[in-house]
Amino acid sequence: MNKNLQRLLPKVLTMAVVAGSLSCMKTPDLEDKAVPATAQEVSSSLVDGWGSVSPLTMLKGDFLFQETEQQIDTMDPRLVLQEGITISNITETTDQYDYTFLYQTAVISGENSSQSTREDHRSVMKSNATDSNPVQTASKKKSKSTDSAALAIAKSVLAKKSDVKTLGDDYEMTLGFERVLMLANSCIMTDDLQKYCKETLKVDSCEIKCANLTKTTEVRPAPDLIKQQSNCGGLPNCQLNVKKVTFDWSILLKTGTTTEKQKVTYTISMTPDLPFLPRVLDYCSRGLVQIPNSTTKVLVTVCNRLKNFQRNTTQN
């Protein structure tokens, strides 16, 4: 485990969530008032929040540290994942720039943590290197999956229906830009999602609806670990200008005259004051999850937050 991440691992208090205590909870009553939002409105809000920045602002040696917390109903949030991401190498070919990342994780359960380190990779096509639109930028995640954004989110949301322990995402490295890109395309119904609904979920059809889109701006203090850096990492007044986008994403599963709905609220905060890699400050999802072997649902909130970013100002 890299010392950068290891020294940031705090001692975590044990929080035991037992089935007996959860079974006593009542299903929360959530307001279901919906002001429809089009796919274009959601996408435009996220593009505006992301702002203008080139992926080429990612430099060799840049280090990012982030944490994921999970909150069940009104219980205190608990730390479940810590991630350290370091750009270990950048190579240039005729058509693209190839980035190698050192990805370090600590999966936390009570006072115990399981740590791992591995390499991950991304590529940026030279033709798109200065494109600041996250819907079009060719910075892409190298993955075996070719799922559309809508299908990827649907799989994630439906997987949480009956698993109270599910995190916001898997333990694969996901850059902030990729979260923006995923959400920006999430309200577009796709053929692969419709096929998945019919062939895998065995329903007649499915539909995506997005609603309750809000956009806000605020000024917030820099994360504590950035404050500790010389000159607060170059941030004026040690503050960040922030744009926050929130919207409800719902999937409707239709069989005959029956419709089952699963809704998740997404909130993502971005700042123009940081470069490409750490530009997303926090990413949260909030929705009802059914307790196994019970008809009770609990409200689960999962938030991934930027805790530190260290810029390597010397390019090698």
Q: Model confidence over 103-156: pLDDT tens digits?
A: 999 998 878 889 999 999 998 887 766 565 544 443 334 443 456 788 888 877
Residue 27 lies in a domain: no
pLDDT recorded at residue 131: 60
Do the domain assignments include residue 117?
A: no
Q: Is residue 248 part of a domain?
A: yes
Per-residue pLDDT at 54: 86
Residue-level pLDDT at 31 = 56
% of residues, the chain, pLDDT over 90: 57
To which residue do tokens 């123009």 refer? 272
The answer as to whether 4 is a domain residue is: no
For every residue of 161-222, DSSP letters joined together read: TT-TT--SS-SS---HHHHHHHHHTTTS--HHHHHHHHHTS--SEEEEEEEEEEEEEEEEEP
Q: Of 166 and 59, which is predicted with more confidence?
A: 59
pTM score of the predicted model: 0.83
pLDDT at 214 exceeding the cut of 90: yes
The values of phi and psi at residue 276, to 5°, are -55, -50
Q: Count other Cβ atoms within 10 Å, centred on residue 76.
A: 9
Residue 270 has pLDDT above 70, yes or no: yes
Number of domains in the chain: 1
Kindly give the pairing relationship between strand 280-290 and strand 140-141: unpaired
Whether residue 203 is contained in a domain is answered as: yes
Position 232 in a domain: yes
Give the model's pLDDT for residue 132.
52
Token pair recorded at residue 65: 């540290």
Sheet holding 63-72, edge to edge: 36-37, 205-221, 239-255, 258-270, 280-290, 297-310, 63-72, 78-92, 96-109, 112-125, 140-141
Query: What's the pLDDT at 269?
Result: 98
Range of the domain at 220: 32-54+123-310
* 15 occurs within a structural domain: no
C-alpha closest to that of 25 among 262, 263, 287, 289: 289
Residue 158 predicted with pLDDT over 70: yes
Mean pLDDT of the chain: 82
Residue 299 has pLDDT above 50, yes or no: yes
Least confident of 156-160, 174-178, 221-225, 232-236: 156-160
Question: How high is the pLDDT of residue 33?
Answer: 81
pLDDT band of 74, cuts 50, 70, 90: confident
The reply to whether 184 falls in a domain is yes
For 8-64, write each residue's pLDDT tens digit: 443 332 333 333 444 455 555 555 688 999 999 999 999 999 998 888 889 999 999
